[in-house]
Every structure is written in structure tokens, then in C-alpha cells.
Chains A and B, each alone.
Chain A
Amino acid sequence: MDQSVAIQETLADGEYCIIAVQGMLCEGDSRQSRLLGLVRYRLEHGGQEHALFLYTHRRMAITGDDVSLDRIVPVSRDFTLEEVSPDGELYILGSDVTVQLDTAELSLMFQLPFGSHTRMFLQEVARACPGFDPVTPDPEFRWLSRYRCTQLQSQLPTPHGWNSAPGTWPGCARIGGGRYPSRNGLWGLEEARSGAGSVLFGGGAVDQTGLRLAEVARGGGPLWGRSGRRGRRDEEVEEAGREMSAAAGSRERDSAGNSHFDDLRPNGKGLLVDQSSWGQDKPEDLLPRQNKSKSEITDMVRSSTITVSDKAHILSMQKFGLRDTLVKSELVQKEEDYTYIQNFRFFVGTYNVNGQSPKECLRPWLRHSVEAPDVYCVGFQELDLSKEAFFFQDTPKEEEWFKAVSDCLHPGAKYAKIKLIRLVGIMLLLYVKEEHAAYISEVEAESVGTGIMGRMNKGGVAIRFRFHNTSICVVNSHLAAHTEECERRNQDYKDICSRMQFCQVDPGLPPLTISKHDVILWLGDLNYRIEELDVEKVKKLIEEKAFQTLYAYDQLKTQVAAKAVFEGFTEGELTFQPTYKYDTGSDDWDTSEKCRAPAWCDRILWKGKNITQLSYQSHMALKTSDHKPVSSVFDIGVKVRNEELYRKTLEEIVRSLDKMENANIPSVSLSKREFCFQNVKYMQLQVESFTIHNGQVPCRFEFINKPDEQSYCKQWLNANPSRGFLLPDSTIEIELELFVNKSTATKLNSNEDKIEDILVLHLDRGKDYFLSVSGNYLPSCFGSPIHTLCYMKEPILDLPLETVRELTLRPLWTEDDGSQLENPMEIPKELWMMVDYLYRNAVQQEDLFQQPGLRSEFEHVRDCLDTGMIDTLSASNHSVAEALLLFLESLPEPVICYSAYHNCLECSGNYTASKQVISTLPTFHKNVFNYLMAFLQELLKNSAKNHLDENILASIFGSLLLRNPAGHQKLEMVEKKKAQEFIHQFLCNSP
């Protein structure tokens, strides 16, 4: 489905939505669905500008009505939209693409669905970016001006409830009933409210604050839990008082009520607010888009039309970099386990050709050995001395000499050229036998020029490669000339060593230097001369073939001995006469006026293990240059992989890494996983605790929501704390608190709900544990409907559960059916018992209904009522009075039925009309109402003693008998007043 169609409908003439994609806007922990449309506008004088339009939307946008413009981001010069990898997580096939949108003003993060469509979208956006061509004018975005005011308007809140998860939080998630809005409101409702209103950009800031609040609470973790718990113990008694003073609370709620709760423990339920947006590794994401557009995403994947390389790019984005590095370093460490040394024959040659073209066959130099070498490393210097070669870096000589070499390689084998590199006149060629080419890898070539102006034809080139498992570096250098420049040559060598750097395959690794190789072969015109002997003496020694004597005067020898250059390198014995300087075309020493002394300029050195030099010689037969070429043949022991052993080693490494990884999956042990709460009673807290003991990996734990549920557990249950962080080997105690209140009691009576639940304890990046909760609830008259109680002639606990269930489910109006044979009571006996008790004992009680009762006494009253043992009832008048108020409050249908609520408020002040409304109530409700009014009037007769008056009673009973059908919303003052007034009339007038 192409959602750009819907966007197009909202656009003006000249604007065109090129492509649209649906994604999630990520802000902190919040995820909101947005439709992103790339819109193009053609300018009148040619050219075009682009902007990214962000829309909120309902369902999958089909028409323009489904989308609502949220904001516009002009694609300006500072606009970037880039893929980012979400905190180093593993790449998961088909996972979302996270992109970061940045401009000078803002920075947004989106998750786009995996697939070709997203890829296309990103390509289009990239194409739309204006670039930095100074010729094209900066985009002005005048066409966007018409949206500026619209955007402001759209900041007005509009109902966008479909993706405001926090807004779906009902106020019912609380223990202890809805009597204390302040208690939960502090932690839950207010956040929920701010979250809901924040869908549009105007509210973003509010939203953030709301979430941050929760974040702080969450971050508290165990610490918070512990203090919470401690607080709780102290509060236990106090809480009893609090529940008991419920009715009083409605009187004092504005003053004392609040201070009473200043030390609120953070009720776990209140924290639920951001739960749906917390953690992404849950089994069930409640993110709206994921549910909605799953099929859409799959379609995109299937209809994929992007090019292969694009796709490969998508797949390669997330690599296991660290893991690869670990595997590699382990493999290097264990190299000896799976490699063996095998000798390969290397030919190394160096030839300073003095700017000449090849005139003679190079066979005498390259093909003098019987056996075909496995590798040829052939170096030249002074390939081309022309200015053109120097300035244009191009010379026909390269091809000429390359061909000359290629033609004269050993005929016993076929060779593949691996690499050629040239820096002005310094060229290096690398060939291997064809069958070895497959084992050559990581080939890199670099060059370094040395010296200053005028001498820039000096320097070195190098080729590095891996042959089987051995790394090899071949360097060809032409160092500074002239006898007196010995220091300069040393410096050139050092410069080449320090400046020659090869890129690595893994861009994350530092570049390689020459010294970081197993084998180094260094050849070239090193230009070291013979010192302290005059020319004639040198020539004489040469004639006598006293090379040993002569060698003592060789600069390279003395410099190496002084550790000034080529440290760690070896050179074979010089058994050939100096290779410089001859008259071109002859074997005669230089006869020019300079009359240079002969010198061993051209040399071959090596460094590394398992290297045997087989020959080291010059080749007098070649007369093209004023130098003679030099060659050396080596047997080099190369580390060759035994594939079977390699595989085995690799598998071992991978296995041990897997093992390590599995050991690093967070894991905990729980002291208990089954919890049974027996004989749960109305408003009586039961606590079961267990401990989580962490293993060796620090982890975050959290109870997570089950699918399609608003909360991680049933309403009557609470885990404290419900989330936290655990250090290795640490322990935390979790308390499961079960508390049935008026909002959960009725369904437990009717068996629509049971004391049964499964909690999912989730470890971040780890396992999930299931905890089962079971138990039984003892039905109570509290939470039972009036008419149900009227049909119960026996105490509720004496009745079979099935009967309680049937009676509780009986509809409110069944009593009209005359055929009922059960002969119900006129009012619930439990109500009569309480009223009768008060009538007998408390009509003169001072401050009746105004002082709180005791929790323990309430439990006693409840048990007496539910078992019918009223004779044993002994409690303070205040406790019984409070029980009466709690009873009225717990009625699922208030005494004045919800349906009559608004009528009552309307005719409050008109007594006749009010009586009329009362007469329309179901019989049992009418009876209860009249009964209570009669009782209250009785109390008023004793007002001298009990200090009660109509106003006090009206304010207490007004909000209990008349309840707003909309639920627990804080009543408006006017409404409250009217309700009081309504009751007031009945207190003042006799029936």
C-alpha cells in the first residue's frame, strides 16, 4: 500500500509526494508512529526544493483524512538523514532500520521497517539533498510558508488516542479502591494524562517530563524497593487507619487527608505508566505499528526490487566486530596448532637501469637457476630519468621493462602478476606461480618519496601480502647517492620505514608498517660506497678478487655494524665484484671524467625466520646500464595451513566463544515460583515474598505485561518492587501483595475472576521466568450488589460458592419478576445488622461517622457479617460506623443507581421531584435508601449529644449514595454540592 497517495491528497498544487514510509518516531522511551513523506516542489523558474513532511495518522493511511500534519523538515543544506546502528546490538535479519534525522535546529530518531521500500525512501531523500554546489542558490522554502500557520493550529490537542499508549491507562490500577485519587494520581494518573496529550509536537516536552519522572523512580531499583518496603511495614498499621478513615477522608480530603499521605510509598502500579514503551526485547511488543503493519512489512520484503548491493549493504550494517576480532586474535595465538612450515623458492632481483630501455634479454639475470622459483620479486631503479617521468608520473618504460621481465621468467612454470608499483624510476614487480595465486591475499602496495627538491627521484616502493599464513613485505629502495651522503642514506632508510604504511582489511585496525611482517626482503640501489680507499686500490683488490678485504671498507657493512641502519637485517656474503660503475655496454669501469670508484650499490637484504639464501650474485652479461643487475635466490619457510586442523581449531574457538557468550546471558535463581494465597478476604492484605538471586552477570529485571493486558498482573496483585537492577551474585526480595478491594471484589464473588495469575519476570537480554499465583477468595457482603444480598437469607459464607456466583450475576431488575419464589428480604440483612447495632449503641455517640475506626475491628465486623455471627459483634461504634460507610462504598451499583444519578442532580432542590426519582429506583434500592434516611433522621434527633447535623450527614452520605457513573473522576464542586443538597432534603423532610 503506497501511503504517499494519502499524503498527496493533503498537498497543494505543485507539491508532489515522491515517496512515503511509515516509521516510529523514537523520543526517549516513547515510540510514536509517524508517516514520513518526501515532498518535492517545483520552482517557477526551474529547479526544485524538497521537504520531509511528518504526519501522525490513524490506521494505515489510505486517504488524506487519515493523516494529520505534525511537522515539516525542509531538506536544506544542513539536513542529513543517516542510518545509525542502535547501541551495538546484533544484526537481526529483518530488523528495523534506525535512522537519525539532523538539521541545524533539530535531531530526531526514527525506526523504519526493514525492506526495499525503506531503502528506496532513503535513496530518494539522499537524492533530494541539495549538496554543496556553490552555484545553485540556497533553497528558500517559500512554498512552505503556507504551512506555518496551519502547523500552529494543529498544535491544539486533537484526539489522537490510537497511539498514545499512556492514555490507555485506566485509573483503576490501584489498590485500596478509588477513594484516594491523590495517592495514585501522584504516580500514575497525572503522568498518564500528560502522556495522552502529548501526541502533537506541542506537547513533546510535557511527555518527556512525564517519562523522566517514571525513569527516576525506575532507576531507583532495589534501593527504592527496599526503602519502600521498610516504609510499608511502618505503614501497615497506619494503612489500616487510612482505609478505616476512608469515610472521614471524604470530609478531610482537602486538608488533613493529604498530609496524611505525605509519606506515600510508591505504589508499584503507578509506575506502570511507561511500561509499554520500556525495553524492546520483550516477547510481545505492544507497539501499535508492529501489530498493525506486520503484513505490510512482509509485503515490502517480498516485493523487493532493490539492487543486490543495496541489500548486501542492509545486511552488512551490523557485524559482530568484536567477535570477529576475538576469533582472529585466537587464531593467531593458536597458529602453530594448524600450520606447518613449507619451503618456497623466491627469486629477488634488483637492477638500476640508468634510464635505458631494455635492449637485451634479461634471461641471464632472471633465469639462471635450474628450478623455477615460486615467487619473483624484481626491482628497478632509474627506470626513466626524463623530466616527463618525474613531473607526469607516467613513462613508457614501465610497460617496456614489465614486458621484458614477463618474457624472461623461468619457462618451467606459469606466473601470475600479483602487483606492480612504481614511484618515478623505482619500480617493483611481484609474480607468483599460477598455482600459488589462490594463497596470496591482503596485497597492498605503497610508496614513499624521500629527500628534498632535486633529489625527489629517491625513495622506496613496497608490496606487502600474505602468502598462505605468512606475511611478507618486499621493499625496493633507491637511497641517496654520493660517497659523502652516507648519513642521508641512513635517513632515507629510516624515513621509508616510518612512512611506509599499509591499510588493513579491517579499517578499525591501525595501518601496518614494514617491520610488522614475518618476512622482509629489501632490495635496491642502496648507494652505499667503498670508503677510505683510492680508486686504484679498489680496482686492484677487485682484480685480486679480494672481496673480503674490500668489504671491510663497505659503508653498508660499517653502518650496519654500528646499528645505524638495517637493524636486524642479514646480507649474504659478497662473492661478486662491485656492480657500479661501468661504462655502458661494457664490463669496463667508469672512464668518464668523474671516474667514480667501484661500489656495491645494488644489494639484497632480508629479515625473518626460516630464510635460507641459496645464491647472491651479479650478472655481468647484462651491459645496458652503468650498473650490473644483482639477484638472490632464497628458500623461505612459509606457514601453510592444514585445512583440517585449521577447521578444528576454528571450531574450538567458536565453540568456546559461544560458551562464553551463553555464560554471559543473565540468569537468576528464584527462591519460589508458585504462590498460593489461601482464604483471601476482602480488604485484607496478604503478602508472599521470594528472593531473586542473581548469577554472575549484572542484569535488569522487570515484570512485563502479558499480551493484551494493561498490566503485568491482575488488579488485586502487586509486585514490590516490580523492576530493578541486580549486581552479580546479589539478592533482592520481592513481595507479592494481594489486596482485594471494592473494584475487584464483585468479580471474585461472581467467579468471573479468580485468584489465579501468571507473572512474567523478564531479564533484560536474558531469560523470562514464569511465576504462578493461585488461591481462593472468600466471598463477602462487601462488594456484593444490594439485590443479591437481599436474596441471600443465609450468611454469604454459609452458601455454596455456586449460589453466590449465581446470585451475584443476577441482573439488577430481576426482582420485578413476580414469579420469584425465593421471597427475598426487603433490605440486606448485613445492612440491617450494622444499622441496628448503631441504633442500639451509637445514636448518642459523639462524632459518629467522623472518627476513623480500627482496621482490626473492621475485619471483625466483616467476618461477623459474612458468617452471620452478629451476636458476637463487639466493636467500637466508630468501627461499625466506618464499616457501614465502606459497605455503601463497595456496592457495585450505588444505592441511587447510576442511571438515576443525573436525574437526582437535576431535581436537587425540588423535594417532590426528588421523591419521584427515588420512587423509580429498583425496590431493594428504594428500601435501602428509605431505611438509611430514617436512620439518619433518628440520629439527628440526638444531635445534642452526637453533634451531628444535616449538613455533616449530607456531605458524608451524599458522595456515597450518589456516585457519578463516569467512575472515579474527581467530582466537581458543583456536582458534589448538588448531591449533598439532594440528601439534605430527605434529612430535613419527613418521608
Chain B
Amino acid sequence: MAKQYDVLFRLLLIGDSGVGKTCLLCRFTDNEFHSSHISTIGVDFKMKTIEVDGIKVRIQIWDTAGQERYQTITKQYYRRAQGIFLVYDISSERSYQHIMKWVSDVDEYAPEGVQKILIGNKADEEQKRQVGREQGQQLAKEYGMDFYETSACTNLNIKESFMRLTELVLQAHRKELDGLRTRASNELALAELEEDEGKPEGPANSSKTCWC
């Protein structure tokens, strides 16, 4: 039985106050949604374990205060992140405009090679929409980011966007992770599956790398 590995990543949610960062986090980790808005004043985090490509990944997701007066402090948390969600609210043109500022903060404070993804949240509020889908796509393209319109309320694209950012981070650390996989198959070799006539293959690998 192959050894089990864990990799820990830090992902960070940033964006204007009220765009729904905390809601995205709650939906993803606890599958809960609360429509009332309580400002996050500080920095909060939750853990989530997912499996990507046979690797068990634990992600620590940091939810930051969006209010402007706290930004000098919250910026200091960027440094420890491997992936960052830049979140705006599709019903707030202003929050969309501010993405530029958030991006430049990320460039300044986050480590080199940090993975970013653009999120247009509150996609369920179609009638209040101020930011077109294309605008989001356009901006994401400009910055070379992936883009998702999400809704924490209707659970639209939540898992997808979190998984995507995790994948991007994994890819960015591929070198280290290749080491993991090789190691895992080394372990397999120890299972002493000597072939008689035909070599057993395929399913052996997948069944050995699952978690048990």
C-alpha cells in the first residue's frame, strides 16, 4: 500500500468589502450560505481537504477584511499565499473597477509565482447586474487569469473555482509533486507483484493510491 501524502496550500480571498468572500468560503467548506452580511474585521481561515489527481491536498483558505482601512494590514498576509482569489460583485461596478488595485497589491506583496483567479460573485443576482460576463472575461484575459462567475447563494461554480485554483497551484509546484508521485510508485514496487506470464497493470496504480 502506497504511503499517503499531504500537501498544504494557502489560498487567500481578497476583494472589496461585501463582495461575498466569506460566503464563498462558507459555501465551499461547510456548504452553508447566510445572506446577511457581517463584515469580516480581521483575518479568518478554514481548512478543506480535497483530492486532486491522486494527491491529497489540504487547503487553508484565508478570508480577509475587505474594508479599505484595513488594507495596509491585510496586504501582509499575501506573502504566505500560494493562490489568490480576486473577488468582485457582478452587481457592483465599483468592486469590479477596484480589481485593478487589488491586482497591483498582489503584484507588490504576494510571492512570485502566486496563482490568481478572478471571481465574479453573486451571479444569481441577474437583475442587479452591473458588470457583464464579457467584462469579467476581458479583465481576466488581460491579467492572464482564469475567470469564474460564481454564486455562493445557488452554489454555482464554487467547487469548480476552488478546485481550479488548487490545480493551478499544484501545477506551479509540479516539480516537487512529481517527486511525490515517483515516490508513491516506488512504494508500489515493494508490493512484490511479480508477474507470472502477463504483467498486471493499470488498475493496480489507481487502487493503491486511494486513501485508506
**Which positions 1-15 of chain B face chain A at CB distance < 8 Å?**
1, 3-10
The residue that A438 contacts in the complex, of B3, B8, B178, B203, with Cβ under 8 A, is B203
**Interface code A362-404, partner B: CB below 8 Å = 1, 0 otherwise?**
0000000000000000000000000000000000000000000
Say yes or no for B104: interface residue by CB 8 A criterion: no
Say yes or no for A820: interface residue by CB 8 A criterion: no
Chain A residues, CB < 8 A from B180 = 312, 315-316
Known contacts A311-B179, A315-B5, A760-B73; A770/B207 CB under 8 A: no
**Interface code A683-707, partner B: CB below 8 Å = 1, 0 otherwise?**
0000000000000000000000011
Chain B residues, CB < 8 A from A324 = 4, 211
Known contacts A316-B183, A434-B197, A438-B200; A772/B69 CB under 8 A: yes
The residue that A419 contacts in the complex, of B176, B192, B208, with Cβ under 8 A, is B192
CA distance A976 to B69 in the complex (A): 47
Say yes or no for A439: interface residue by CB 8 A criterion: yes
Chain A residues, CB < 8 A from B46 = 662, 665
CA distance A442 to B183 in the complex (A): 17
Known contacts A312-B180, A654-B49; A768/B1 CB under 8 A: no
Please state if B29 and A662 are interface contacts (CB–CB under 8 Å): yes
Chain A residues, CB < 8 A from B45 = 665, 767
Say yes or no for A309: interface residue by CB 8 A criterion: yes
Please state if B73 and A706 are interface contacts (CB–CB under 8 Å): yes
Size of the chain B interface, CB-CB below 8 angstroms: 61
Chain A residues, CB < 8 A from B186 = 309
Of B74-82, B126-134, B147-155, which binds chain A?
B74-82
Chain B residues, CB < 8 A from A767 = 42-45
CA distance A311 to B183 in the complex (A): 9
Q: How many A-B residue pairs have CB under 8 A?
A: 162
In this complex, what residue of B is CB-closest to A294? B111
Please state if B198 and A414 are interface contacts (CB–CB under 8 Å): yes
Say yes or no for B196: interface residue by CB 8 A criterion: yes
Say yes or no for B47: interface residue by CB 8 A criterion: yes
**Which positions 952-987 of chain A face chain B at CB distance < 8 Å?**
none
CA distance A517 to B111 in the complex (A): 51
Q: Is the interface of B mostly helix, strand, loop or mixed?
A: mixed
Known contacts A316-B5, A437-B200, A438-B207; A308/B179 CB under 8 A: yes
Say yes or no for A659: interface residue by CB 8 A criterion: yes
CA distance A363 to B173 in the complex (A): 56
Say yes or no for A284: interface residue by CB 8 A criterion: yes
CA distance A419 to B196 in the complex (A): 11
Chain B residues, CB < 8 A from A665 = 45-47
Please state if B194 and A416 are interface contacts (CB–CB under 8 Å): yes
**Interface code B1-37, partner A: CB below 8 Å = 1, 0 otherwise?**
1011111111000000000000000000110000000
Chain A residues, CB < 8 A from B82 = 93
In this complex, what residue of A is CB-closest to B194? A417
Please state if A657 and B49 are interface contacts (CB–CB under 8 Å): yes
Say yes or no for B41: interface residue by CB 8 A criterion: yes
**Which positions 759-780 of chain A face chain B at CB distance < 8 Å?**
760-761, 767-770, 772
Known contacts A311-B176, A316-B3, A319-B4; A416/B200 CB under 8 A: yes
Please state if B196 and A414 are interface contacts (CB–CB under 8 Å): yes
CA distance A415 to B196 in the complex (A): 6
Chain A residues, CB < 8 A from B76 = 283-284, 706-707
Chain A residues, CB < 8 A from B211 = 324, 327, 650, 654
Please state if A437 and B73 are interface contacts (CB–CB under 8 Å): no
Chain B residues, CB < 8 A from A439 = 207
Please state if A662 and B1 are interface contacts (CB–CB under 8 Å): no
Please state if B196 and A434 are interface contacts (CB–CB under 8 Å): yes
**Interface code B172-186, partner A: CB below 8 Å = 1, 0 otherwise?**
010111111011001
Chain A residues, CB < 8 A from B203 = 438
CA distance A707 to B78 in the complex (A): 13
Say yes or no for B100: interface residue by CB 8 A criterion: no
Say yes or no for B52: interface residue by CB 8 A criterion: no
CA distance A214 to B176 in the complex (A): 41
Chain A residues, CB < 8 A from B48 = 658
The residue that B196 contacts in the complex, of A318, A416, A441, A758, with Cβ under 8 A, is A416
Say how far A325's CB is from chain B's closest CB, in angstroms: 10
Please state if A309 and B207 are interface contacts (CB–CB under 8 Å): no
CA distance A315 to B211 in the complex (A): 18
Chain A residues, CB < 8 A from B70 = 758, 770
CA distance A507 to B196 in the complex (A): 30
**Which positions 574-617 of chain A face chain B at CB distance < 8 Å?**
none
Please state if A93 and B47 are interface contacts (CB–CB under 8 Å): no
The residue that B191 contacts in the complex, of A415, A443, A657, A662, with Cβ under 8 A, is A443
Say yes or no for B112: interface residue by CB 8 A criterion: yes
Known contacts A312-B182, A328-B212; A283/B43 CB under 8 A: yes
Chain A residues, CB < 8 A from B53 = none
In this complex, what residue of B is CB-closest to A760? B73
CA distance A431 to B65 in the complex (A): 62
Say yes or no for A505: interface residue by CB 8 A criterion: yes
Chain B residues, CB < 8 A from A319 = 3-6
Please state if B204 and A437 are interface contacts (CB–CB under 8 Å): yes
Chain A residues, CB < 8 A from B69 = 758, 772
Say yes or no for B142: interface residue by CB 8 A criterion: no
Chain B residues, CB < 8 A from A437 = 193, 200, 204
Say yes or no for B58: interface residue by CB 8 A criterion: yes
Say how far A279's CB is from chain B's closest CB, in angstroms: 14
Say how far A696's CB is from chain B's closest CB, in angstroms: 16
Say how far B97's CB is from chain A's closest CB, in angstroms: 25
In this complex, what residue of A is CB-closest to B9? A93
Say how far B186's CB is from chain A's closest CB, in angstroms: 7
Chain B residues, CB < 8 A from A659 = 30
CA distance A768 to B3 in the complex (A): 35
CA distance A2 to B126 in the complex (A): 58
**Interface code B64-100, partner A: CB below 8 Å = 1, 0 otherwise?**
0100011011001101101000000000000000000
Please state if B41 and A769 are interface contacts (CB–CB under 8 Å): yes
In this complex, what residue of B is CB-closest to A327? B211
CA distance A439 to B206 in the complex (A): 11
Say how far A650's CB is from chain B's closest CB, in angstroms: 6
Write 28 A-B pairs (CB below 8 A) sorted by A numbering: A90-B58, A92-B10, A283-B73, A283-B76, A308-B179, A308-B182, A312-B182, A312-B183, A315-B7, A315-B183, A319-B3, A319-B5, A320-B58, A327-B211, A416-B198, A417-B194, A418-B194, A437-B200, A438-B203, A438-B204, A442-B1, A658-B48, A658-B49, A706-B72, A707-B73, A767-B44, A769-B42, A770-B41
Residues of B participating in the A interface, judged by any CB pair closer than 8 Å: 1, 3-10, 29-30, 41-49, 58, 65, 69-70, 72-73, 76-77, 79-80, 82, 111-113, 173, 175-180, 182-183, 186, 191-198, 200, 202-204, 207-208, 210-212
Given contacts A309-B186, A417-B194, A769-B41, 10 further A-B contacts (CB under 8 A): A93-B9, A312-B183, A318-B6, A319-B5, A324-B4, A441-B1, A442-B1, A646-B210, A650-B210, A767-B42
List the 5 closest A-B pairs by CB distance, nearest first.
Answer: A312-B183, A311-B179, A437-B200, A312-B179, A769-B42
